[in-house]
Structure formats: structure tokens, C-alpha cells
Amino acid sequence: MSLRQVYQRPAAELIGCADCGLVQLLPPVPPDAIAECVRCKRPFAAPARGSIDTALALTVTALLLLLPAALLPLMRLTSFGVQRRDWLPSGTEALWNDGYDSLSVVVFLFSIALPFVYLGLMVCVLGGIRFGIDARLGKLFRWTAALRPWVMIEVYLVGCCVAYTRLESVGTVNVGAGGWCLLAATLAAVLASLKLDEQSVWDALPPHQSLSAPKLPISCETCELMIDAAREHSACARCGARIRRRKPDAIRRTLALVIAGYLLYLPANLLPVLSIERFGRDQPSTILGGVHELITAGLWPLAIIVFTASVVVPLIKLFGLSLMLVMTRLRSRRWLVGRTRMYRFIDRIGRWSNIDVFMISILAALLQFGTLTSLRPQPGAMAFAAVVVITMLASRSFDARVMWDAPGSAA
């Protein structure tokens, strides 16, 4: 069943752009075409993109594969005549035992708990649309969409790959059944999200349009339903979110979080994130030290991935958001389209910085051979995870529409 059968868009539809706030009339879009905002070039969902059946089947597959991925060993490391196994929850346990409780909770949430909750909710929403059950699906999908940036199963998988290559210098590493299931679950989840975009799911949920034609239309920031401005602060008829013209205190909240991000970026990169004890000698290593180790081992592609994700991405986020805050304060009209695109990019890439945090949790679980070779996480890892979470919160709390309002150019 394609979305065209679930919901047929009317000939022309009033749409409020989530990135620049411009309310515009969207003409009928031919199949396989994607309309974009006339002002900021944000792509809107195509009329009949995606298939509920395929997305539902892939999401159910991902959820079913995640169970063995959590219960079976991800990898085995044989070194010094001893074999150690790593399960999905082992990293959380290792961090907890080393006294890094909050880091352990962060890894548990992003790698195990939230992927299960997200996929479970997604199955309920897609199943509900497929079988015509309407009860509270809008509210359920609002929670699902809010969880999406914090579900880091694919980031965890890359963390596993980096850990795998680093462990190869210590002993023989084998991928376990859980590792293959995790790979398959991730592929299924990514394919499901490629098959069906978020806006198409909103389009399939009623009401498709505001019940009465809005005189002064504003759009719900979650599901983009057009509602009359007089109903601001009431609950959205589709997703239940509180209707607001703009995110409250967007500038002040983002500014506070960006400053906190800068303050934590220094200890995150200067303090060691892990230390390896070999034959009684401690070798602390920073984020950049880890990149250097990958280069000396000749693993250039991995070194580039880790350097980009851990060093460059947090800096792009902090500098990018700073630039947006300053230019909004100066009421500048310059590069509005470019800045909006940059905001979209920053909001999407934030989660990838967590590769190193996941890698440390896996190494902390596997590299435990007593005085021969043992790995302990170090305080830098805490600061680093805090930078990732705080910069993600900063980009989430920013509202790109405020940039367009500032020069007084909002339509």
C-alpha cells in the first residue's frame, strides 16, 4: 500500500515552511518530484513518496533483529591465551564498574534503550496507519520523531568497527552472531527511514488540513499542520504539541548551551579519554592521540572518520551556531539561505560525534587482561560525551525561523 492510497494531497495546499516560517501555497507535485520552499529551498515531502508496507516490514525486521543483537556476543577477542566476549550491554556495565555512572547511562540510552523504544513506537505508528487504527497515532508519532536524533544504532555500529580495528593489534578478533544481527538491524532501520520520510507519515495521519481555513495561518512546529494564529498555545489537532509561532527563548537557550559547549570542548580534547595499562605501565591517550595511533597503524580511512566525527564536527557545530547567533543579533540579511542549509546540516550530523564514546565503552569491556593489558576510561571521555549531548541540545533548541524574522523580512 503506497501513501497515495492512504492520503491523496489536494490540488494545492497551504504549507508553512519549518525552516524559514514562510506560509506558501504548494501546487500539485508530480510523482517522483520533490517541491522546495520558494524562499529557503527546504525540500518538502513529495506527494506519494514511500510505501507504508515496505517501511513497516523493514521496521519490524529491525526490531526483531535487535533482540538477538542485544542477547548474543557482538565480538570475541582472543589474546594472551584468554578469550573475552563483548555483548551490547557489556560497555554500559564496564563504564558503570569503573565509576563512570553518567557516561554508562548515556551509552545505555543511546545504544540499547532508545533504539528499542523508537523501533517499537515506529511499528505501532506504521501498523496503525496500515490497518486503519487512528487512536492517538499523532501523539505517538510526535514522541517517535522527538526520539529519532537520540537513537544512535548506526553510530554505535561505526564505533564497533573502530574498536574492532584497534583490537586487531592486541589479538585475534571475531565478529559474533550478535554483531551480524546488529549490522542487519541497522541496515533494515536505515532502509526503512529511506523508504518513508517523516513528513509523509504526518501526511498519512488525520487531520490532513486544518478543519476551518485559517485566516492568519501559522504551522505546528512538529507536524506542520496549518492552524489559525488565534489558536496559538492550544494543542495541535494532529500531534497534540503546543502550538507556538517560534520555539520559546530559542536564542538565549542556544547561547547558554553553545557557551557550555566551548567550555567543555577544551577538557574533552586536552584530557585523556582512556588509558591502557601494559605490563604495569600506564599509557593515557587523548582523542587526537587515538587518531594518531590509527594513522601510525596505517588505518587512514578510519583515522579520517574518527578525526572528522570527534574533532571537526563539534567545532563545525559550535562555530556554525555562534555565527547564526551573532548574525541574528545583528539582524543581518546575509547568507540566509546558506545559514538555513547549514543549520539543517548541523542538526543532522551532531550524533556522529559519539563514535569515540561508543568505541571507549566497547574497548573498556573487552580489553581486560589484568596487568598484561587493561583499558580504563578517563575523565576526558565524560567531557567529550557532554560536548556531544550539549551541542545536540543547542542545535535542537535553536529555531532557524528566527534568523528570517530578525531582519524584518518574514512574510
Residues of this chain that interact with Zn ion (CB under 5 A) are: 17, 19-20, 37, 39-40, 42, 220, 222-223, 225, 236, 238-239, 241
CB 176, min distance to Zn ion, A: 43
Strands (E), 279-344: 281-285
Cell representation of residue 21: 516560517
Cell representation of residue 373: 593489558
Distance CA 127, CA 135 (A): 12
- Torsional class of 244: left (φ above 0), alpha (ψ -120 to 50), beta (otherwise): beta
Distance CA 51, CA 338 (A): 32
CB 17, min distance to Zn ion, A: 3
Nearest to 221 by CA among 244, 198, 240, 204: 244
Q: Give the burial class of 29: count Cβ atoms within 10 A of its Cβ; 0-12 exposed, 13-18 middle, 19 or more buried.
A: middle
**DSSP 8-state symbol, 171:** S
Cβ pair 272, 360 in contact under 8 A: no
The residue written with cell numbers 574533532 in the block is: 311
Residue 137 or 383 having the CB closest to Zn ion: 137
Cell representation of residue 25: 501555497
CB 19, min distance to Zn ion, A: 5
Residue 20 or 274 having the CB closest to Zn ion: 20
Residue 238 or 339 having the CB closest to Zn ion: 238
Other CB atoms within 10 Å distance of the CB of residue 161: 14
CB 257, min distance to Zn ion, A: 24
Residue 154 or 203 having the CB closest to Zn ion: 203
CB 238, min distance to Zn ion, A: 5
CB 38, min distance to Zn ion, A: 7
Residue 135 or 296 having the CB closest to Zn ion: 135
Q: What is the torsional sign of CA 320, 321, 324, 330?
A: negative
Residue 223 or 318 having the CB closest to Zn ion: 223
CB 48, min distance to Zn ion, A: 22
Residue 154 or 347 having the CB closest to Zn ion: 347
CB 212, min distance to Zn ion, A: 16
Residue 216 or 312 having the CB closest to Zn ion: 216
Q: Give the burial class of 218: count Cβ atoms within 10 A of its Cβ; 0-12 exposed, 13-18 middle, 19 or more buried.
A: buried
Residue 39 or 84 having the CB closest to Zn ion: 39
3-state helix vs strand vs coil in the chain, percent to 5: 60, 10, 30
Residue 17 or 381 having the CB closest to Zn ion: 17
CB 116, min distance to Zn ion, A: 26
Distance CA 356, CA 162 (A): 8
The residue written with cell numbers 551509552 in the block is: 107
**DSSP 8-state symbol, 109:** I
Cβ pair 377, 273 in contact under 8 A: yes
CB 332, min distance to Zn ion, A: 18
Question: Which contacts (CB < 8 Å, 24+ apart) does range 92-101 have?
Answer: 92/361, 93/365, 94/361, 94/364, 94/365, 94/368, 95/361, 95/364, 95/377, 98/364, 98/376, 98/377, 100/377, 100/381, 100/382
